Amino acid sequence: MFGLKKSKGVVGLDIGSHAIKAVELIPKRKAGTEAYELAKIAYEVLPHDSIVEGTIIDSTAVVETIRLIFEENKIKNRNVAISISGNSVIIKKISLPHMEREELAESIIWEAKHNIPYPYEETNVDYAILKPPKGTETKSLDILLVAAKKDKIANYSNVVHQAKKNLVAIEVDVFALQNALEINYPETFENKTVAMVNIGANITNILILERGLPQLFRDLSLGGSFFTENMRKELTISLDEAERLLKGLPVKNVDEAHVEEILSQNIRDLVDEIDKTFTFYEAGDKKERKIEQIFLSGGLANLKALPVAFEERFAVPTEIFNPFRNIHYKEKDFDSVLIKETPSIFGVAVGLALRRMD
């Protein structure tokens, strides 16, 4: 969204609150269509509290982790795309009449000043014109208006520069996820109303698409850290032990039934918040709206009980998002745990790696 310079190939670098993920793809041509091959994949956990509520607190730790990822995984490409989300990022869908490019630019500035809850001078603003659905005629332009606070952008771009990498573009998490969905599930992307729920450590991104057209975006200040903190308090254990339990690993002197009870309650709380967003979407406009497919991504998506909880609440098919579903790779060349057992954590990174390849 916030392009800085052009490049044919980039490393998608997802700087999350818990870990940094990196993906590099090689574009291919297959039967006249877009195809991609996985070149590099990397995952490195950050020290605790390096990033708190979307703000980088310990920049040295983040910089060193980025450097480590590139060095240990022999990633030679120094061009990277990153993404941001949270309260400092505002996405609005607006409609404007058809007009000349210069008039449109002026109208975008006016709309930004009236739709952004921050002073215009403190934000970077970009926009994209949405294509109308096939076979429809419209007299207006549907536009995605995106604004991000300059201090948020600086907070993240600085660590990339300090790690001696070339920052190609800054994206928004939900748009990176949209890229990954379009490539990996093209039939679903084009023909259904889809909800993507990306559950990170501190933020849950929600994206709803109608036949490939984005309709609703929302970031919830709720994620895996909410689960681990509740378990730490309820069970009187360390944060590391709580994280082990969340991964399904055993911890001495901890009652499994009590763990299941806490997890069930936390899942209900998370689903309750997501239910509010889904209800808001389906109640909007005059036409009937219905979500037909749910994809779960992010670290928490690997909880076995989560897809079941979504299907029970929403009566909608729910599956774990696989960002490598249509990406070619040789299994022997990659860590099977990352690519086979926990692929959902790479949704944003894959979307970022796809972004600048055209």
Q: Burial, 18: exposed, middle or buried (Cβ in 10 Å; 0-12, 13-18, 19+)?
A: buried
Provide the residue type at 66 as one letter. I
Q: Burial, 89: exposed, middle or buried (Cβ in 10 Å; 0-12, 13-18, 19+)?
A: buried
Cα–Cα separations (whole angstroms), residue 216 to 66, 94, 130, 186, 262: 32, 12, 13, 19, 31
> H/E/C letters for each residue in 224-275?
HHHHHHHHHHHHCCCHHHHHHHHCCCCCCCCCHHHHHHHHHHHHHHHHHHHH
Delineate the domains of the chain, giving CATH numbers in brackets.
Answer: 2-230+257-355 (3.30.420.40)
pLDDT on residue 134: 63
pLDDT (tens digit, 0 to 9) for every residue of the chain, 358 residues total?
A: 655 444 468 999 999 999 999 999 999 876 667 789 999 999 999 999 999 988 999 999 999 999 999 999 999 999 999 999 998 999 988 888 988 888 888 898 998 898 889 999 999 999 888 877 665 666 788 899 999 999 999 999 999 999 999 999 999 999 999 999 999 999 999 999 999 999 999 999 999 999 999 999 999 999 999 999 999 999 999 999 999 999 888 899 999 899 999 999 999 999 999 999 999 999 876 567 899 999 999 999 989 899 999 999 999 999 999 999 999 999 899 988 889 889 999 999 999 999 754 4
C-alpha dihedral (259, 264, 270, 272), degrees to nearest 10: -150
> H/E/C letters for each residue in 137-182?
CCCEEEEEEEEEEHHHHHHHHHHHHHCCCEEEEEEEHHHHHHHHHH
Helices 224-235 + 239-246 axis angle, to 10: 120
Cα–Cα separations (whole angstroms), residue 30 to 8, 37, 119, 325: 18, 11, 47, 15
Which residues fall within 8 angstroms of residue 101, CB to CB, at 6 or more apart? none
Closest CA to 203 of 290, 256, 274: 274
CA atoms within 13 Å, Cβ hemisphere of 215: 22
Q: Is 309 helix (H, G, I), strand (E, B) or coil?
A: helix
Closest CA to 159 of 230, 63, 80: 63
Q: Are 184 and 323 contacting, i.e. CB atoms less than 8 angstroms apart?
A: yes
Kind of pairing between the strands at 89-97 and 33-45: unpaired
pLDDT on residue 137: 63
- Output the pTM of the full model: 0.92
- 191/9 Cα distance (integer angstroms): 29
pLDDT on residue 191: 95
